[in-house]
């Protein structure tokens, strides 16, 4: 029948996994007692090792769900904290430290927590048992502890001492039993003494007559009686034995002590007696709850199976299968990207970047705006004579030739390799991020990280070599750029449109200011600014007062003036591009906008050739494989974590897990039922 308890303990632990706090659980033995009653010593004598936290400062703050598994085949003993994944622990002082840490982690203001610590001990020296160690009752609240502590501990114990649990009520022999908090608590919930075992510790501290009275306590008679123990070997007993097993050595000392006195002859004494008693009591209690627990499991199972069917259509889902589905969805979406973002898109990207550079170069070399002005505050304009913005005054051909050559050089020596390769890499990252956002991956930071790692792993090592190759390929343009009529015409069109767009933007900005200030007010500010500039040009001092214009209004005025000038300039440049002079490529020195656009086009075309081949195509080819390898590097735990990053998926997985565990528990408990039936019929 020993097998029965073992199987029931397995079922019990399964049920614990389903829900730690729930009513759906098999009975256990609950150990209660006041602080210093000798509770820890009793538990340790049963287990045969010191493993419980020691020290005065409320060292047990959480219940410890202790499962003892008798394992004759295993030569060594080991412990396991099933929830912590620390693996097998063979060193009991390690267990002691871990328990101390877990208990001390309960915040000071809470002091006790009802979240149990699960601990399993495998050993050839222990019987199959489950015991729950609870925080010891306290009489007086120590300094620095909350006043509610006493009742909080009592409340926590009350949760556990309900039927069908068996109560192990520990009291010390040297304390009046009428004052035993443990016995008082169990009497409240078990007035007829049907499921309480009394344990009287420190029997060595009272004389045998008193000891006899305690163990035959008539005040609160217990059907399972009282057991007297001596779990610390006090020096005054004069016994010394060095038995390698603690349980055996305690038992030996007890045997020597109790056998000295006739009073104990027919009474229950010793840890071994206690252990045997616990085993048989647990077995009968478990057997009694077999039927009700089976029914409860069945009910729960039906409920969760129904819920699973209704809500998830019985579609089974594991973290692995979910991840596999998500990868498929991601790859499908990625395939769309490869179709949508290709060579032409790379060309547009690079060209747009170069267009901006062309505009900058022209501004710097032709439109005489000092570079700081492009981004500077408009009041710098106070010092810029308007006339210098015009380009028409110079007629010297050599001058224009040098200027265009310089401009071309500043484009070709820009570092287009680095610029364009980095631009493409950044854009690829962004596009991939866009794919993530379209798929379930977006809900899983761990998946996003895997994708990002895959992207970086491919792009990073290719970035420099691609930049180099691009740079090499555009080298010839540093010396000579040949142009045909078609290219010229195309660029003329493009430059015109580019300027038109710039003009549109500047106009929008100007109109925004006008709407803000009001048309007539803006005009008067502009007039004032003009007059002030004229006076400055003529060397006259401007009047101190500013006609009552506020500094903010003056700033807005300066900005508007700047935009006006910009618009004028852009219109002039558009006119230049459209002029007859610029129809022919022969006049390239007078039409730098067009010429530089041709250069930009050629640079772009060459760069794209390499970018497309070395970076983009290669990326598209390698990425799915690299992603696979990133994902396969995830541990099972990470995959589970990943899947559960989506609350809905977490819920589905949990419900399914619950259903499966309940199925397993039901199957197990049914084999136990069969076992009891067959052993009953054999008798």
C-beta closer to ligand GDP: residue 37 or 640? 37
CA distance 69 to 121: 6
Residue (37 or 612) nearer to ligand GDP, CB: 37
Q: How far is CA 492 from CA 488, 571, 595, in A?
A: 6, 15, 8
Cα angle: 46, vertex 50, 51; to 5 degrees: 100
Binding of residue 35 to ligand GDP (CB under 6 A):
yes
Give residue number: closest CB to ligand GDP.
Answer: 40
- Does residue 33 belong to the site contacting ligand GDP (CB under 6 A)? yes
Q: How many residues bind ligand GDP (CB under 6 A)?
A: 17
Residue 230 binding ligand GDP, by CB under 6 A = yes
Q: What is the largest CA-CA distance in the chain?
A: 133
Nearest approach, Cβ of residue 241 and ligand GDP (Å): 15
Is 231 a binder of ligand GDP (CB under 6 A)?
Answer: yes
CA dist., res. 269 & res. 267, Å (int): 6
| Alpha helices, DSSP H, located in 76-128 | 92-104
* Binder among 136, 193, 378, 557 for ligand GDP (CB under 6 A): 136
**Are 420 and 470 within 8 A, CB to CB?**
yes
Query: Candidates 32-40, 238-246, 340-348, 484-492 — which segment interacts with ligand GDP by CB under 6 A?
Result: 32-40
> Is 254 near ligand GDP (CB under 6 A)?
no
Window contacting ligand GDP (CB under 6 A); options: 34-42, 105-113, 290-298, 374-382: 34-42
**Shortest distance in whole angstroms from residue 206 CB to ligand GDP:** 10
92-111 positions binding ligand GDP, by CB under 6 A? none
Shortest Å, Cβ 455 to ligand GDP: 58
* C-beta of 234 vs 371, nearer to ligand GDP: 234
At its nearest, how many Å lie between ligand GDP and the CB of residue 40? 3
Give the C-alpha separation, 220 to 227, whole Å.
14
Cα-only R_g, the chain: 44
Least distance from ligand GDP to the Cβ atom of residue 96, Å: 13
The tokens for 506 are 């500047």
Pick the closer one to ligand GDP by CB: 137 or 623: 137
State which of residues 204, 355, 593, 646 lies at the interface with ligand GDP (CB under 6 A): 204
Q: Shortest approach of ligand GDP to residue 668 CB, angstroms?
A: 34
CB 109 within 8 A of CB 132: no
Interatomic CA distance for residues 466 and 419, integer angstroms: 11
Q: Binding pattern to ligand GDP, positions 37-56, x when CB under 6 A?
A: xxxxx---------------
Residue 203: CB minimum distance to ligand GDP, A: 7
Q: Closer to ligand GDP by CB, 170 or 627: give it.
A: 170
Query: Measured between alpha carbons, how far is 669 from 269 in angstroms, rounded to an integer?
Result: 34
Cα–Cα nearest to 610, from 455, 461, 424, 469: 469
Asked if residues 380 and 558 have their Cβ atoms less than 8 Å apart, the reply is no
Q: Least separation, in Å, of the C-beta of 23 and ligand GDP?
A: 29
Q: Phi and psi dihedrals of 315, rounded to 5? A: -75, 115
Tokens of 456: 């970086």
What does the alpha-carbon distance between residue 432 and residue 625 come to, in Å, rounded to a whole number? Answer: 15
Under rule CB under 6 A, residue 202 binds ligand GDP: yes
Which residue stretch of 20-28, 230-238, 464-472, 576-584 sits at the interface with ligand GDP (rule: CB under 6 A)? 230-238
Residue 405 CA to residue 403 CA, distance in Å, equals 5
At its nearest, how many Å lie between ligand GDP and the CB of residue 95? Answer: 16
Q: Residue 62 and residue 81: Cα distance in Å, rounded? A: 14
Question: Is residue 171 a contact point for ligand GDP (CB under 6 A)?
Answer: no
Residue 359 in contact with residue 498, Cβ under 8 Å? yes
204 vs 646, beta carbon nearer ligand GDP: 204
Question: What DSSP string describes 193-210?
Answer: -SSEEEEEE-GGGS-HHH
For residue 37, the 8-state DSSP code is S
At closest approach, how far in Å is the CB of 66 from ligand GDP? 14
Is the distance from CB of 134 to CB of 160 less than 8 angstroms?
yes
When asked if residue 113 is in the footprint of ligand GDP (CB under 6 A), the reply is no
Contact 326, 444 (CB under 8 A): yes
Our CB check for ligand GDP shows the closer of 36 and 318 to be: 36
Choices 14-22, 35-43, 118-126, 311-319 (CB under 6 A): range interacting with ligand GDP: 35-43
Binding interface with ligand GDP (CB under 6 A): 33, 35-41, 136, 201-202, 204-205, 230-232, 234
């Amino acid at each position: 029948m020993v097998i029965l308890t073992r199987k029931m303990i397995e079922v019990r632990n399964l049920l614990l996994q389903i829900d730690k706090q729930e009513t759906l659980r098999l009975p256990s033995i609950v150990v209660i007692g006041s602080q210093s009653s000798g509770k820890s010593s009793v538990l340790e004598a049963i287990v045969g090792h010191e493993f419980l936290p020691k020290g005065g400062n409320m060292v047990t703050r959480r219940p410890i769900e202790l499962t003892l598994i008798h394992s004759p085949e295993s030569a060594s003993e080991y412990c396991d904290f099933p929830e912590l994944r620390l693996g097998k622990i063979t060193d009991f002082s390690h267990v002691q430290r871990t328990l101390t840490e877990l208990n001390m982690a309960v915040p000071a203001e809470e002091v006790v927590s009802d979240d149990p610590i699960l601990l399993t001990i495998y050993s050839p020296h222990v019987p199959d048992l489950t015991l729950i160690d609870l925080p010891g009752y306290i009489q007086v609240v120590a300094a620095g502890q909350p006043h509610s502590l006493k009742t909080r501990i009592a409340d926590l114990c009350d949760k556990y001492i309900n039927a069908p649990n068996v109560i192990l009520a520990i009291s010390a022999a040297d304390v009046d039993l009428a004052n035993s908090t443990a016995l008082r608590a169990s009497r409240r919930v078990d007035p007829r003494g049907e499921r309480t075992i009394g344990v009287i510790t420190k029997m060595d501290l009272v004389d045998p007559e008193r000891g006899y009275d305690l163990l035959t306590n008539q005040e609160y008679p217990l059907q399972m009686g009282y057991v007297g123990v001596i779990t610390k070997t006090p020096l005054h007993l004069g016994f010394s034995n060095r038995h390698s097993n603690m349980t055996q050595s305690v038992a030996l000392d007890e045997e020597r002590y109790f056998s000295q006195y006739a009073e104990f002859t027919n009474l229950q004494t010793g840890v071994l007696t206690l252990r045997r008693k616990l085993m048989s009591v647990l077995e009968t209690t478990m057997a009694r709850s077999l039927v009700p627990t089976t029914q409860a499991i069945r009910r729960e199972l039906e409920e969760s199976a129904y819920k699973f069917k209704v809500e998830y259509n019985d579609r089974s889902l594991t973290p692995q299968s979910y991840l596999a589905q998500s990868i498929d969805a991601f790859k499908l979406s990625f395939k769309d990207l490869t179709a949508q973002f290709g060579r032409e898109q790379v060309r547009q990207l690079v060209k747009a970047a170069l267009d901006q550079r062309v505009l900058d170069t022209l501004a710097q070399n032709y439109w005489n705006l000092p570079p700081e002005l492009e981004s500077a505050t408009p009041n710098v304009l106070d010092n810029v004579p308007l006339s210098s913005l015009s380009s028409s005054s110079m007629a010297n051909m050599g001058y224009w030739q040098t200027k265009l050559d310089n401009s071309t050089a500043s484009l070709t020596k820009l570092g287009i390799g680095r610029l364009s390769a980095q631009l493409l890499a950044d854009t690829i990252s962004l596009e991939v991020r866009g794919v993530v956002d379209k798929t379930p991956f977006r809900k899983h930071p761990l998946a996003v990280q895997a994708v990002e790692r895959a992207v970086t792993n491919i792009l990073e090592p290719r970035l420099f070599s691609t930049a180099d190759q691009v740079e090499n390929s555009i080298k010839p343009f540093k010396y000579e750029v040949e142009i045909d009529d078609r290219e010229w015409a195309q660029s003329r069109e493009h430059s015109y449109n580019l300027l038109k767009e710039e003009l549109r933007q500047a106009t929008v900005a100007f109109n925004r200011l006008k709407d803000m200030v009001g048309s007539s007010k803006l005009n008067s500010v502009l007039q004032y600014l003009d007059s002030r500039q004229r006076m400055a040009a003529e060397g006259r001092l401007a009047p101190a007062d500013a006609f009552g214009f506020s500094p903010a209004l003056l700033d807005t005025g300066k900005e508007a003036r700047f935009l006006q000038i910009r618009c004028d300039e852009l219109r002039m440049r558009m006119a230049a591009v459209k002029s007859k002079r610029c129809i022919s490529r022969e006049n390239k020195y007078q039409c730098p906008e067009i010429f530089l656009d041709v250069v930009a086009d050629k640079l772009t075309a060459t760069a794209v050739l390499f970018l497309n081949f070395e970076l983009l195509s290669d990326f598209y080819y390698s990425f799915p494989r690299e992603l696979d390898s990133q994902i396969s590097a995830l541990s099972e735990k990470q995959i589970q974590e990943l899947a559960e990053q989506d609350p809905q998926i977490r819920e589905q997985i949990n419900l399914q897990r619950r259903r499966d565990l309940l199925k397993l528990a039901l199957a197990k408990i049914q084999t136990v039922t069969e076992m009891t039936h067959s052993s009953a019929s054999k008798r």
